[in-house]
Amino acid sequence: MKLWDKGTSVNKRIEDFTVGKDREMDFFLAPFDIVGTMAHITMLQKVGLLEEEELQTLLVELKKLYKEAQSGNFKIEDGVEDVHSQVELMLTRALGDVGKKVHSGRSRNDQVLLDLKLFTRHRLQEIVDATQALFNVLQQKSEEHKDKLIPGYTHLQVAMPSSFGLWFGAFAESLSDDMLMVQAAYKMANQNPLGAAAGYGSSFPLNRTMTTQLLGFDDLSYNVVYAQMGRGKVEKTVAYAMASIAQTVGKLAVDGCMYTSQNFGFLKLPDELTTGSSIMPHKKNPDVFELLRAKCNKIMALPDTIGSIMTNLPSGYFRDLQLIKEVYIPAIDELLDCLHIATFAIENMTVAENVMQDEKYKLAFSVEEVNNLVLKGVPFRDAYKLVGAQIENGEFEADLNINHTHEGSIGNLCTDRIKHKMDAVISGFGFDKVESALSELTK
């Protein structure tokens, strides 16, 4: 079944090529297509395009389909082009001609725009929840191990004293900034495109403000041409936000690979979180971090992939945009998988004790000695030269006692302030408003 079918057959090779993976991807959009239809027909009744009895009959059937979709039992049948066609087909089978009325004032273009925005809004909340879980574990580890020193590096050379508290906490604060990117993407997605139809509006007296309120959107995409132009733009913006999180998690994974190696030995994964070698019986490989690194690199390429599909498209709809779903929808699951497994790995790792007592790290304390001399009145440049000479002559002795007090330093991690930053961003999403609206619509 095709909503555009006018009785002319399409060559099967052309049909297979043009449909592609659309039906497979539309499975993920099914609950959102159904709830969008609920809002649309509720509005159609208010503007006189449906009778109240017809609306109630349709809503009863749509709520059944919605439960099927939420439970994963919704299917797009062979020969049915997409989720929009499947929903209309099932309504028509169950209710007869009234099922054919649900498309008035819509195009598949604004239907898929709506579906993707509702889908995106829902999945971004899952990303926020998963990111917050990783953030909490990192903060917990930061406080738990704040007094355990490790070397900090520049150019992969031992530089100055750091700590496990600083290391874990750095990734936590990075995630709080990543959430600003996610919030921007969420706010762009949380605007209603329904009523744009094919991108040029409708001669029906649609009430777009009503569907905006019914679906819990913050606002409308007002200009109908721009609403259509938003296809791909929202996904690309979300991809940038996902890439930002992936960059943080990927860098964590890179450090995890190094710090669990024998040459560093700062971190240890339990045996059940490692893999072995077919010929080397001693091996305990940190595959979890290696695959996190690769998967995050893949996600960081997503904005460019989406951008390449969109490049040089004029305003209006083009079938090219269909391909975005094939890279966009699976990438969200992949990022969530990365967040969940990173959280699990961090929860279960152990940290080394007394790392900085190793002789090879003693020069990391040279800056501390320079600063101690400055505090005694020696000009900084003279203190620098004096300690440098001690190092060159093999006379430098490290004092392992350090005293850093300023905000964000070893002795003052500001964990509570970093948590406040994260909490402030998350509170700005307004998830409660969305959940309330959808609950009211589908009850």
Instruction: Give dist(CA 138, CA 166) in Å, integer.
Output: 10
The CATH fold of domain 108-357+417-442: Fumarase C; Chain A, domain 2 (1.20.200)
Per-residue model confidence as pLDDT tens digits over 266-305 = 999 999 988 887 898 888 889 999 999 999 999 999 999 9
Please give the single-letter amino acid code of residue 209: T
Q: Is the CB of residue 160 less than 8 Å from the CB of residue 373?
A: no
Residues of the chain with CATH 1.10.275.10: 12-101
The pLDDT of residue 405 is 93
Lookup: tokens for 214 = 């019914």
Q: Is 68 helix (H, G, I), strand (E, B) or coil?
A: helix
Average pLDDT over all residues of the chain: 93
Q: Is the CB of residue 282 less than 8 Å from the CB of residue 311?
A: no
Residues of the chain with CATH 1.20.200.10: 108-357+417-442
Question: First CA to last CA across the chain, in angstroms?
Answer: 30
Torsion of CA 46, 48, 54, 60, to 10 degrees: -20
Angle between the N-to-C axes of helices 164-189 and 233-259, in degrees from 0 to 180, rounded to the nearest 10: 170
Residues of the chain whose pLDDT is less than 70? Answer: 1-11, 14-22
Instruction: Show Cβ contacts of residue 350 under 8 Å, excluding neighbours closer than 6 positions.
Output: 267, 268, 270
The CATH fold of domain 12-101: Fumarase C; Chain B, domain 1 (1.10.275)
Instruction: Give dist(CA 132, CA 130) in Å, integer.
Output: 5
- 163 beta partners: 149
Instruction: Give dist(CA 104, CA 99) in Å, integer.
Output: 11
Show the 3-state SS of 378-427.
CCHHHHHHHHHHHHHCCCCCCCCCCCCCCCCECCECCHHHHHHHHHHHHH
Instruction: Give dist(CA 187, CA 167) in Å, integer.
Output: 31
Instruction: Give dist(CA 35, CA 37) in Å, integer.
Output: 5
Strands (E), 322-371: 350-351
- 161 beta partners: 151
Per-residue model confidence as pLDDT tens digits over 181-239 = 999 999 999 999 999 999 999 999 999 999 999 999 999 999 999 999 999 999 999 99
| Alpha-carbon dihedral sign for residues 281, 284, 288, 292 | negative
Q: Is the CB of residue 266 less than 8 Å from the CB of residue 259?
A: yes
| Alpha-carbon dihedral sign for residues 105, 109, 110, 114 | positive
